[in-house]
Structure 1
Amino acid sequence: MTEERRSLAVEREFPHPPERIWRALTQPHLIAEWLAECDFAPVAGHRCQLRFDWGAVDCEVRVVQPHRCLSYSWNSGDLESVVTWTLAATRTGTLLRVEQIGFKPDQPRYFHGARMGWPRFLDQIGQVLARMDGDVEP
């Protein structure tokens, strides 16, 4: 019997094209503005670390579908989870969804941290998107 895991998802629509949001999700200098310092690269199999003031998260990129989907492991302490970003173009911009899966029932601290953190990070990514220039890299 496998242990049941909890997941958490947050969605937000932004008035920006998927290509612009993709830049904010994949370029280290932009990730540092809304999430954490990192050595991220949008390449499947790339290992990196997100460095927060409270510690580090070890990541491995799992899925890269430019402008559509990005997924990576999110491991910290005894938490082994996966974060997946999904981008869907809308009539007025992009619907951005972040889902984190893998919380064990005995990990309420991690789950509640994510429940509080992801909406805040989406607010911050919105601020970064508003400041970014209009040029879009491929």
Structure 2
Amino acid sequence: MTDTAAETLSVVVEREVAYPPEKIWRALTEPHLIEEWLMKNDFKPVADHRFNLRGDWGTVDCQVRAIEPNKMLSYTWDALGLKSIVTWTLTPTSAGTHLRMEQSGFRQDQQQAYQGAKYGWQRFFATLEQVLARID
């Protein structure tokens, strides 16, 4: 029996954010806010909705897999030969929210994509926090 989880890599970014889950949820699900911290998009917070993220370097084809308002959002991320899954988890804390993002499904031969995602998500998180500080 093979353990497929051992055969793929995941990028995980976790932060304590000083905002309630409802505010972070808006930044994760409202297209104009997603565009400010991630990419242009046609996202809708609806299960099975297919959407695109569009950056200068190309397009990411996505599909909403699971959605639990203010708690969890999961979607596929298919770009440049990488088929992965991005899952956001929001857990309320006394100081705000524990925000966790995991992008899973990097094959061992996708080191460049994996390293790029590790770098990219750190940048996206920094920009996300700026957007959160600005919105009401």
2:132 matches 1:129:
yes
Q: Distance in 2 between the 1:105 and 1:9 partners?
A: 16
Q: Determine helix, strand or coil for the equivalent of 2:22.
A: helix
Q: Which residue does 2:67 correspond to in 1?
A: 64
Aligned pair 1:87/2:90, yes or no? yes
Contiguous gaps of at least 5 residues in structure 2: none
CA distance in 1, matches of 2:133, 2:22: 14
Show structure 1 runs of 5+ residues with no match.
Answer: 134-138
Aligned-partner SS, 2:98: strand
Number of equivalenced pairs: 133
Shift of residue 13, structure 1, vs aligned partner? 1.0
Q: Deviations over 1:28-70 (max 9, x none)?
A: 0000000000000110100000001100000000010000000
| Structure 2 Cα separation of the partners of residues 11 and 61 of structure 1 | 21
Return the alpha-carbon distance in structure 1 between the equivalents of residues 125 and 3 of structure 2. 32
Identity of aligned residues (%): 56
Q: Give the structure-2-normalised TM-score.
A: 0.95
Per-residue CA deviations over 1:87-119 (Å, capped at 9, x if unaligned) read 000001001000000001100111001110111
Runs of 4+ in 1 over 3 A off after TM superposition: none
When normalised by structure 1's length, the TM-score is 0.94
